[in-house]
Amino acid sequence: MTDETPLANDSHAVRSSALRTLARWFDSTHGRPEAGEPDAVDWMRIVPFVGMHLACLAVFWVGWSPVAVGVAVALYALRMFAITGFYHRYFSHRAFKTSRVGQFVFGVLGASAVQRGPLWWAAHHRHHHAHSDRPEDVHSPVQRGFLWSHMGWFLSRRHFVPDLKRVRDLMQFPELRALDRFDILVPVLLAIGVFGLGWALETWAPSLGTDRWQMLVWGFFVSTVACYHATYTINSLSHVFGRRRYATPDDSRNNWLLALLTFGEGWHNNHHHYPNSARQGFYWWEVDLTYYGLRALAALGIIWDLKPVPAAVRDGGARRIGRPGGSSM
């Protein structure tokens, strides 16, 4: 016999559920999401994501300064490059080579953007390419609409755990598995560093007009959320708005504005036509800031063997819809 009441059992279950949720904030392999409708939002797990957005409202209390905004812009640029150049073109598509140390550093920089670890990111992205705009595509606006493709899919219970069979080539590196498991530690350290920078400037350079809280809000929260939603537009908008140069089996499109915001990712129809290239702006007039950055890293010997776009693939007429500058929507 037991003296536990149903109320006590329910209370214990709630506490256990809360502890499991808290553990998953810091350890992505700790258990599985709670049972229930797999496409439902896992509200307890996404508290930090919601908090990131709410923290941006603190700009009304902390104010702004050119230094704080400048740091926000710099961290946006650094982390957008890390997501597009490293998480996407390297980990997802292996569009160039680097050393094992370089690979880990790239993973750390990508994790600083607070978009989960490199294995999670690459696994989901490879799944997307395997099923682009078909019912199995995890974030297709054609299948599920704007809100789901923009962010609903990764807030759901179903996609908390990726199909790691798609990243067997990356799973062989224990340091990447550890980074993926404890990916949240990187942005936490970044937030602490930004806060510390603000404290140092407040103490030793008060004439700059910034402080620790202003630097944290602008340099970390505002910058991260801006990077979030610019990145998400490639899922939600680049399969809806823009021009289609190539007759790909999906609905991917080239969008010059999104290409500027995302450092070249907006040349999305180009990318789906030939995903393995390190370059997504196929022609000189298609600005691809990430590719320019990768070329600089190659010149320094940090990366090598950037995969080009073969001329026959770029200019071949078999899959083209229109002229080099693009075609009708």
Q: Is the pLDDT score of 329 beyond 60? A: no
Tokens of 288: 């691809």
Coil, strand, or helix at residue 306?
Answer: coil
pTM of structure: 0.90
The mean pLDDT value for 268-294 works out to: 97
Task: Using the predicted structure, report yes or no on whether residue 226 has a pLDDT greater than 60.
Answer: yes
Amino acid at 36: G
Mean pLDDT for 230-239 is 96
Sign of torsion over alpha carbons 317, 318, 320, 321: positive
